[in-house]
Amino acid sequence: MRIAVDAMGGDYAPHEIIKGVVEELPEHKFEIVLVGQPEAVERELSRYNLDGSRISIFQAEEIIGMGEQPVQAIRRKRNSSIVVGLELVKNGQASAFVSAGSTGAITTAALLTLGKNEWISRPALGIIFNSPSGPVLFLDVGANPDCKPKHLLQFAQMGDIYMRTIFQIPKPRIGLLSNGEEEIKGNKLVRAAYQLLAKSELNFIGNIEGQELPKGKADVVVTDGFTGNVVIKLGEGLAEVFAELSRQGMEDSLLLKEVQRRILDYTALGGALLLGIKGNVIIAHGRSDAKAIRQAIRLAEQVVEQRAAEALGS
Amino acid sequence: MRIAVDAMGGDYAPHEIIKGVVEELPEHKFEIVLVGQPEAVERELSRYNLDGSRISIFQAEEIIGMGEQPVQAIRRKRNSSIVVGLELVKNGQASAFVSAGSTGAITTAALLTLGKNEWISRPALGIIFNSPSGPVLFLDVGANPDCKPKHLLQFAQMGDIYMRTIFQIPKPRIGLLSNGEEEIKGNKLVRAAYQLLAKSELNFIGNIEGQELPKGKADVVVTDGFTGNVVIKLGEGLAEVFAELSRQGMEDSLLLKEVQRRILDYTALGGALLLGIKGNVIIAHGRSDAKAIRQAIRLAEQVVEQRAAEALGS
């Protein structure tokens, strides 16, 4: 297995990206291809005492910045680490691509390079977080701010396939994020999606309210990309507030660690899966440090091994 | 000042409601009118050693349950504690009404009994939470699952008036909850509301992302009632997860208390304000215990003293 990692993407690239790769590699057997500017990558690699047999560099001179307009950036920068990394997946030279670069640019480039599954109208971004009752796949967390009911149905169908293949959950429980448990609750979008989900072949367990989300009542929770994004970023912000409290002397590393682990903190989760794309693409947080990159790489290994993207069909 | 409290509303009524009233009363000079079934209320009051001079009972034999359809329930139960309590405010016999009953029933009854401010299309439900930089008013948290851009503008205008009158903030910073900082981010609703807010007379500081919400970057943060409800209930759920961790032996009451205080936990905040109604109405959480009721009563006193509802005009 070979995983391509965008060495240039993210606020702390290339330093933290390469640190994460170097730290994670000994625990696995796969190879890593670092995609980016060779000089910058070599300079970082020279900090470590490596035999280098399982790390290679693939040249990509350009970098797409976080604020660039995705479509334009991808057209103009064909030799950027994002486009080149995705092409490695397309050509079979890598099994997965991990990047902490611009979510919009990666999603757009993945659509153009790898293409989407035909039965999917819109790829979605999903995170897997730990709940007291096990892993939960939560999507969409930002790819589609405006959704139609059928998009939410498709997110549920993709989530169902992912949770069956990655975690061998036979009949994943599908929940719909809403402002009340009852069928009549929700905004127009959610009320219409409820009807589609109820009629589907899925193991739909109904609406999930905000307070149930962290508890793991469902294995897959679907929402539109606007609400999903607000939810995961709120988790991130709360984790930061707690970290600040901790620095102020209220130290209890064990509790604080649990708090951060449970709080849907995107930064601690390593990365989001791009579902509905013909290929394994992991989008790590822009502020990823080495630890986050290690988790993103582990997630990449897991989806490659379980053939999650292939399970979605063509 | 006289505050009417719904003795029958909420999961732990009348016991916890009356406990909260009895515990809170010595700290203030106002009077409390307990609205509900006299026998039940008297039975609870007899547990305490009271002189009773500042607590009275106002008879309301009926109770509107949490699951009842609001409009039907209000029509059929004219003698319910919710309807009777709101009529006390209407007739000037009480300055505010506090209830932990059904949000839908209270909102509908408040509209029918007290009426809304004429310039407001839709009343909204707002909570005030503590951020590291001060109190933040967050609305709508559930009254309007589907909103139009002009509703969000009006929520901002109401929030502006409330924060000026309750906390004497001269020019409250108004933020719009979104999935990105930039003007182009958001779903269709948010992008359109952004334009209205930017053109308004308000001190609009732009989009607020989820991670910024707990930090207090804005004094008022507006969102639709669907997203707002998911956000506050997520805070509630996370607080429960932490409380469970604490019970499992990871005790650090100081940190945990801070976590709960900072986490937008609706149950800990005491109550939500019903904005846009001609009268002071505080909706406490259905699961309110005595402590939550005490906070709801304190909030009621604050809005009465600062004449917050009057500041909205007619």
Q: Is B224 on the interface with A (CB under 8 A)?
A: yes
Residue bearing tokens 């207090």: B216
Q: Cα dist. B40→A65, B13, B23, B36, B84 in Å?
A: 66, 10, 18, 8, 17
CA of residue B222 relative to chain centroid, distance: 15
Cβ neighbours of B229 in A, within 8 Å: 179-180, 210
Which SS3 state, helix, strand or coil, does residue A222 take?
strand
pLDDT at residue A93, rounded to an integer: 96
Least confident of A126-135, A261-270, A271-280: A261-270
Q: Is B224 close to A187, i.e. CB distance below 8 A?
A: yes
| CA dist., res. A262 & res. A215, Å (int) | 9
pLDDT at residue A262, rounded to an integer: 53
Residue A256 Cα, gap to closest chain B Cα (Å):
9
Model confidence at A66: pLDDT above 80: yes
Least confident of A75-79, B43-47, B63-67: B63-67
| CA dist., res. B178 & res. B141, Å (int) | 15
pLDDT at residue A264, rounded to an integer: 53
Confidence band (pLDDT; 50, 70, 90) for A235? confident
Cβ neighbours of B223 in A, within 8 Å: 230
Query: Could you tell me how many CB contacts below 8 A there are between chain A and chain B?
Result: 156
**CA A49, A267, B205 angle in degrees (round to 5)?**
130
Rounded to 10°, the helix B253-262/A225-247 angle is 140
Cβ neighbours of A263 in B, within 8 Å: 238
Q: Cα dist. B262→A20, A234, B266, B294 in Å?
A: 32, 12, 10, 19
Model confidence at B268: pLDDT above 80: no
Model confidence at A253: pLDDT above 60: no
Q: Is B245 close to A234, i.e. CB distance below 8 A?
A: no
Least confident of A59-68, A251-260, B207-216, B270-279: A251-260
Model confidence at B41: pLDDT above 70: yes
Length of chain B: 314
| CA dist., res. B82 & res. A74, Å (int) | 59
| CA dist., res. B190 & res. B228, Å (int) | 13
Residue B25 Cα, gap to closest chain A Cα (Å):
32
Each residue's pLDDT tens digit, A122-131: 999 999 887 8
Average pLDDT over residues A99-122: 93
Q: Is A229 close to B179, i.e. CB distance below 8 A?
A: yes
Q: Identify whether the C-beta of residue B17 lies closer than 8 Å to the C-beta of residue B5.
A: yes
- DSSP states of B250-278 as a string? ---HHHHHHHHHHTT-HHHH--EEEETBS
pLDDT at residue A272, rounded to an integer: 84
Average pLDDT over residues A277-301: 89
Structure tokens at B312: 């909205």
pLDDT at residue B254, rounded to an integer: 55
Q: A169-173, B241-245, B287-291: which has the highest mean pLDDT? A: A169-173
pLDDT at residue A313, rounded to an integer: 82
Least confident of A14-28, A195-209, B62-76, B121-135: B121-135
| CA dist., res. A73 & res. A62, Å (int) | 10
Cβ neighbours of A146 in B, within 8 Å: 187-188
pLDDT at residue B253, rounded to an integer: 55
Average pLDDT over residues B296-312: 88
Q: By CB neighbour count within 10 A (0-12 exposed, 13-18 middle, 19+ buried), where does A20 fall?
A: buried
Q: Where are the beta strands (DSSP E) in B105-231?
A: 124-131, 134-139, 173-178, 203-209, 220-222
Residue bearing tokens 């020019």: B171
Query: Which of B68, B131, B234 to probe the A interface (max A CBs under 10 A)?
Result: B234
Instruction: Please tell me which residue, B239 or B273, carries the higher pLDDT value.
Output: B273
Of A230, A254, A258, the CB nearest to B177: A230
pLDDT at residue B4, rounded to an integer: 96
Instruction: Please tell me which residue, A82 or B167, carries the higher pLDDT value.
Output: A82
Which chain A residue's Cα is nearest to B208?
A230
What is the per-residue burial (b if ≥16 Cβ within 10 Å, else e) of A48-73? eeeeeeebebbebebbbeeebebeeb
Instruction: Please tell me which residue, B235 or B230, carries the higher pLDDT value.
Output: B230
pLDDT at residue A75, rounded to an integer: 95
Quick one: which of B59, B57, B112, B114 has its CA closest to B84? B59
Do the interacting molecules here have an ipTM over 0.85?
no
Q: Identify whether the C-beta of residue B48 lies closer than 8 Å to the C-beta of residue B22.
A: yes
Q: Which residues contact A269 (CB under 8 A, 6 or more apart)?
A: A127, A128, A129, A292, A295
CA of residue A115 relative to chain centroid, distance: 17
pLDDT at residue A266, rounded to an integer: 54
Residue A88 Cα, gap to closest chain B Cα (Å):
30
pLDDT at residue B246, rounded to an integer: 60
Residues 58-117 of B with CB under 8 A from A: none
Each residue's pLDDT tens digit, B94-149: 999 999 999 889 999 999 999 999 999 999 999 988 787 888 999 999 899 999 99
Which chain B residue's Cα is nearest to A264?
B238
Average pLDDT over residues A27-33: 94
Q: Cα dist. A4→A34, A97, A159, A280 in Å?
A: 6, 5, 24, 10
| CA dist., res. A232 & res. A216, Å (int) | 15
Cβ neighbours of B180 in A, within 8 Å: 229
Least confident of A11-15, A76-80, A159-163, B273-277: B273-277
pLDDT at residue A153, rounded to an integer: 98
Torsions phi, psi of B116, nearest 5?
Answer: -105, 165
Q: Which domains does chain A have, with CATH numbers?
A: 1-117+277-314 (3.40.718.10), 118-267 (3.40.718.10)
Q: Is A186 close to B226, i.e. CB distance below 8 A?
A: yes
Torsions phi, psi of A276, nearest 5?
Answer: 100, 5
- DSSP 8-state class, residue A261: H
Q: Is A241 close to B145, i.e. CB distance below 8 A?
A: no
Instruction: Please tell me which residue, B191 or A246, carries the higher pLDDT value.
Output: B191
> Checking phi first, is residue A269 left (phi over 0); if not, alpha (psi -120 to 50) or beta?
alpha
Model confidence at B211: pLDDT above 70: yes
Torsions phi, psi of A58, nearest 5?
Answer: -120, 125
Cβ neighbours of A262 in B, within 8 Å: 238, 241-242, 245
Residue B132 Cα, gap to closest chain A Cα (Å):
8
Model confidence at B249: pLDDT above 70: no
| CA dist., res. A105 & res. A68, Å (int) | 8
Confidence band (pLDDT; 50, 70, 90) for B65? very high
Q: Is B215 on the interface with A (CB under 8 A)?
A: yes
Average pLDDT over residues B228-243: 81
pTM as predicted: 0.86
Residue A127 Cα, gap to closest chain B Cα (Å):
16
Residue B124 Cα, gap to closest chain A Cα (Å):
15
Average pLDDT over residues B169-189: 94
Model confidence at A268: pLDDT above 70: no
Q: By CB neighbour count within 10 A (0-12 exposed, 13-18 middle, 19+ buried), where does A91 fall?
A: exposed
pLDDT at residue B273, rounded to an integer: 85
Q: Is A187 close to B230, i.e. CB distance below 8 A?
A: no
Residues 106-165 of A with CB under 8 A from B: 132, 142, 145-146
Q: Is B42 on the interface with A (CB under 8 A)?
A: no
Cβ neighbours of A178 in B, within 8 Å: 226, 230
Cβ neighbours of A211 in B, within 8 Å: 233-234, 236-237, 240
Cβ neighbours of B230 in A, within 8 Å: 177-179, 209-210, 223, 227, 230-231
Each residue's pLDDT tens digit, B67-93: 889 999 999 999 999 999 999 999 999
Least confident of A168-172, A179-183, A248-252: A248-252
Which SS3 state, helix, strand or coil, does residue B182 take?
coil
- DSSP 8-state class, residue A71: H
Of A187, A256, A258, the CB nearest to B146: A187
Of A187, A212, A241, the CB nearest to B132: A241
- DSSP 8-state class, residue B281: E
Q: Is the dihedral of CA B216, B219, B221, B225 positive or negative?
A: positive
Residue bearing tokens 């009271």: B50
pLDDT at residue B20, rounded to an integer: 95
Cβ neighbours of B233 in A, within 8 Å: 179, 209-211
Residue A188 Cα, gap to closest chain B Cα (Å):
7
Helical H segments across chain A, by residue range: 15-24, 38-45, 70-76, 81-90, 103-113, 149-167, 188-199, 225-247, 253-262, 266-269, 290-305, 308-311
Cβ neighbours of B256 in A, within 8 Å: 255
Instruction: Please tell me which residue, A264 or A17, carries the higher pLDDT value.
Output: A17
